[in-house]
C-alpha cells in the first residue's frame, strides 16, 4: 500500500550541503511510497544555503531564535522533540558529523526512540505480503563488517545519522519551491543555560577533500614527502589526503583523513602512496573511479583492491611525477 512517508532532516548550518544530500537518503527510506521531506534550519543566515534548501525540500521549518546558538545541542534536540509531537515524522535524519553525533542521541533520548548511528546505506525490502521494512546498514567491528539494523516496524520516528558523501541529491525539479514555515522554537531546556558563546574564531579556509576529483593520499610509507605531495596535488587541481597514522603523527590535518573515523570520498582518481589499506582506511573509499596503489609491498591489502599497482618507493614515484609535470 502506498502511503506518505514524512522525514525530517536536521540541517547543520556549517555543512548544509551534506544535509541537502540527505534528501537522497530520505528517498531511499521512503522507497515506492510518497515522500515528504522536511528541513529544520535554526538561525541559518546564508543566502546560497537557503536557496539550495528551498529547492530540494518539500517543507522548510525555519527557526530564528538568538537563545539557540549553533552549538546548543540540548536546545536543538528539544526543537526536534517539539516538531515530532507536532508533525509525527516517520523518520528523522542527521548528518553523521560531530554536530549530528552529539544532537542525534539527545533527540533520541528525549523521544525514547532507537537511533542507528553512522549509516552508510539504506535498503527497503518488500516482502511477498506487500509489507516492507527498512534496513539501515552501518559498519561494525572497526568497519571489518557491515550490519543491517532494522526497527521493530511499529516505532515512530526511526532515527539515524548518515555518513557524508554516500547519498546525493540530484537537483531540484524545475520550479519546485519548498513551503517555508517560520517557527518559534520552544524555550531552550535548562541544560542549554550551561553554554555561553564567548567568541567565534573562523578556521583557516581548508579545501574539502570530498569535493575533489583527484586525491593523492599519503600514508606512513610516504610521510617524509607529505608537503611535496600537497603541492603536486594542488598543482594538478586536486588535494592531498591522508591515512589516520599520518594524522595521529601530526603530519597531516584531521580534515584530510580518509576512513572510518575520517571522511568518505568518491574521487575519480585516488592515488594512495605508502598506504597499507586497513579496513578502517578502505571504509572511506566509495565509488572511486580509478584507484592507484603505490607501495613497496605488492602484497599490501590495498594493492588487491587497486586498479593499478606501482611497486615502488613512494618518494621516488612522487619525484618522477613532479619531473613529468615540469617537463610538460
Ligand atoms: C577505531 C579505529 C578507527 C580508525 N579509523 C581510521 C581512519 O579513518 N583512517 C585510517 O586511515 N585509519 C584508521 N584507523 C587506523 C588503521 O587501523 C591503520 O592503522 C592505518 O590506516 C594505517 O595507516 P597506513 O596505511 O598509513 O600505515 P601502515 O599500516 O604503517 O602502512 C604503511 C604502508 O606503507 C608501505 N611502505 C613503507 N615504506 C614505503 C615506501 N618507502 N614507499 C612506498 N610504500 C611504503 C608499507 O608496505 C605499508 O603497506 C583506525 C583504527 C581504529 C582502531
Read off the pLDDT of residues 112-155 as tens digits, 9 standing for 90 and up. Answer: 999 999 998 999 887 656 567 899 999 888 777 889 998 777 78
Asked if 145 and 14 sit in the same domain, the reply is yes
In a domain, 110, yes or no: yes
Q: Give me ligand 1 centre to Cα 245, in Å.
A: 6
Task: Report how far residue 288's alpha carbon sits from residue 108's, in angstroms, rounded to the nearest whole number.
Answer: 34
Residue 114 resides in a domain: yes
One domain for residues 29 and 122:
yes
**Cβ atoms 95, 166 nearer than 8 A:** no
Query: What DSSP letter does each residue of 168-219 carry, written as one string?
Result: ----PPTT--PEEEEE-PPPPPGGGGG-------PPPP---GGG-SEEEEE-
In ligand 1, which atom is closest to the CA atom of 277? 25
263 and 184 in one domain?
Answer: no
Write the Ramachandran bin of 135: left for phi over 0, alpha for psi from -120 to 50, otherwise beta: beta
Is 272 inside any structural domain?
A: yes
In this prediction, residue 128 carries a pLDDT of 58
User: Greater confidence, 220 or 208?
Assistant: 220
Q: Which residues line the pocket of ligand 1, CB cutoff 6 A?
A: 142, 219-222, 243-245, 257-262, 274-276, 278, 280-281, 284, 294-297, 300, 313-314
Look up residue 47 and give its three cell numbers. Answer: 543566502
The partner residues of 132 in beta bridges, in order of sequence, read: 126
To the question of pTM greater than 0.95 for the whole model, the response is no
Number of structural domains in the chain: 2
Most ligand 1 atoms within 8 A of CB, residue of 117, 141, 245 to mutate: 245
Please state the atom number of ligand 1 nearest to the C-alpha of residue 302: 49
Ligand 1: centre distance to CA 322 (Å): 24
Q: At which residue does the C-alpha cell 509525527 appear?
A: 88
Ligand 1 mutation target, pool 220, 272, 283, most atoms within 8 A of CB: 220
Q: Is the pLDDT of residue 27 over 80?
A: yes
How many whole angstroms from 219 Cα to the centroid of ligand 1? 6
Residue with CA closest to ligand 1 atom 19 = 245
132/186 same-domain check: yes
Residue 244 region by backbone torsions, left for phi larger than 0, else alpha for psi between -120 and 50, else beta: alpha
Q: For a pLDDT cut of 90, what percent of the chain falls above it?
A: 62
Compute the chain's Rg from CA coordinates: 22
Which residue has a Cα nearest atom 30 of ligand 1?
220
Tell me what the mean pLDDT of segment 157-165 comes to.
Answer: 90
Q: What is the pLDDT of residue 39?
A: 97
Ligand 1 mean position to 100 CA, how many Å? Answer: 27
Ligand 1 centroid to residue 275 C-alpha, Å: 5
Are 102 and 171 found together in one domain?
yes
Judge if 255 and 317 occupy the same domain. Answer: yes
Q: Are residues 253 and 177 in the same domain?
A: no
* pLDDT number for residue 131: 63
In this structure, are 249 and 152 located in the same domain?
no
> What distance in Å separates the CA atoms of residue 219 and residue 279, rounded to the nearest whole number?
14
Distance in angstroms (rounded) separating the CA atoms of residues 64 and 183: 7
The residue whose CA is least distant from atom 11 of ligand 1 is 243
Q: How far is CA 321 from CA 150, 193, 210, in A?
A: 48, 55, 23
141: helix, strand or coil: coil
pLDDT tens per residue across span 73-114: 999 999 999 999 999 999 999 999 888 999 999 999 999 999
Beta strands in 209-248 (DSSP E): 214-218, 239-242
pLDDT computed for residue 169 by the predictor: 79
Report the distance separating Cα 158 and Cα 86, nearest Å: 16
Q: Which residue from 258, 276, 286, 298 has its CB within 8 A of the most atoms of ligand 1, so it is best to mutate?
A: 276
Instruction: Answer whether residue 173 shows pLDDT above 70.
Output: no
The ligand 1 atom nearest the CA atom of 275: 25
Ligand 1 atom with minimal separation from the 260 CA: 8
- According to DSSP, the β-strands at 132-140 and 121-126 are antiparallel
CATH code for the domain in which residue 282 is found: 3.40.50.1220
Determine the pLDDT at residue 205. Answer: 61
Give percent above pLDDT 70 in the chain: 93
Helices and strands in the chain, H and E counts = 9, 15
Ligand 1 nearest-atom number relative to CA 259: 8
If you take atom 48 of ligand 1, which residue's CA is the nearest one?
A: 276
Q: What is the domain range of residue 277?
A: 209-327
Category of 310 on φ-ψ map: left (φ > 0), alpha (ψ -120 to 50) or beta? beta
Average pLDDT, the chain: 89
Please report whether residue 203 resides in a domain.
no
Q: Are 163 and 249 part of one and the same domain?
A: no
Together in a domain, 51 and 148 = yes
From ligand 1's centre to the CA of 278, what distance in Å?
6
User: Does one domain contain both 275 and 149?
Assistant: no
- Residue 256: the pLDDT is 94
Helix, coil or strand: residue 126: strand
214 shares its domain with 187: no
The pLDDT score that the predictor gives to residue 1 is 59
Amino acid at each position: 500500500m502506498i502511503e506518505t512517508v514524512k522525514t525530517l532532516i536536521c540541517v547543520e548550518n556549517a555543512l548544509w550541503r551534506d544535509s541537502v544530500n540527505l534528501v537522497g537518503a530520505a528517498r531511499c527510506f521512503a522507497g515506492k511510497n510518497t515522500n515528504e521531506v522536511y528541513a529544520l534550519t535554526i538561525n541559518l543566515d546564508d543566502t546560497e544555503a537557503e536557496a539550495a534548501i528551498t529547492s530540494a525540500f518539500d517543507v522548510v521549518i525555519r527557526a530564528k531564535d538568538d537563545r539557540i546558538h549553533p552549538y546548543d545541542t540540548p536546545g536543538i534536540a528539544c526543537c526536534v522533540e517539539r516538531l515530532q509531537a507536532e508533525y509525527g515524522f516517520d523518520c528523522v535524519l542527521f548528518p553523521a558529523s560531530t554536530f549530528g553525533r552529539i544532537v542525534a542521541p539527545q533527540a533520541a533520548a528525549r523521544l525514547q526512540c532507537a537511533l542507528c548511528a553512522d549509516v552508510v546505506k539504506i535498503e527497503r525490502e518488500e516482502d511477498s505480503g506487500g509489507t516492507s521494512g527498512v534496513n539501515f546498514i552501518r559498519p561494525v567491528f572497526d568497519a571489518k563488517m557491515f550490519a543491517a539494523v532494522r526497527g521493530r516496524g511499529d516505532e515512530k520516528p526511526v532515527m539515524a545519522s548518515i555518513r557524508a558523501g554516500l547519498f546525493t541529491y540530484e537537483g531540484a525539479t524545475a520550479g519546485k519551491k519548498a513551503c517555508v514555515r517560520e517557527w518559534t522554537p520552544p524555550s531552550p531546556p535548562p541544560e542549554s543555560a550551561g553554554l555561553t558563546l564567548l567568541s567565534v574564531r573562523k578556521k583557516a579556509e581548508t579545501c574539502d577533500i570530498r569535493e575533489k576529483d583527484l586525491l593523492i593520499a599519503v600514508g606512513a610509507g610516504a610521510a617524509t614527502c607529505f608537503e611535496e605531495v600537497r603541492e603536486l596535488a594542488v598543482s594538478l587541481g586536486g588535494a592531498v589526503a591522508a591515512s589516520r597514522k599520518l594524522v595521529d603523527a601530526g603530519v597531516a590535518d584531521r580534515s584530510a583523513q580518509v576512513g572510518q573515523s575520517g571522511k568518505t570520498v568518491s574521487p575519480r582518481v585516488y592515488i594512495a602512496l605508502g598506504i597499507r589499506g586497513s579496513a578502517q582506511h578502505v571504509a572511506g573509499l566509495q565509488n572511486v573511479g580509478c584507484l592507484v596503489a603505490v607501495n613497496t609491498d605488492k602484497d599490501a591489502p590495498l594493492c588487491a583492491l587497486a586498479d593499478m599497482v606501482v611497486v615502488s618507493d613512494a618518494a621516488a614515484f612522487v619525484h618522477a611525477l613532479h619531473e613529468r609535470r615540469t617537463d610538460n
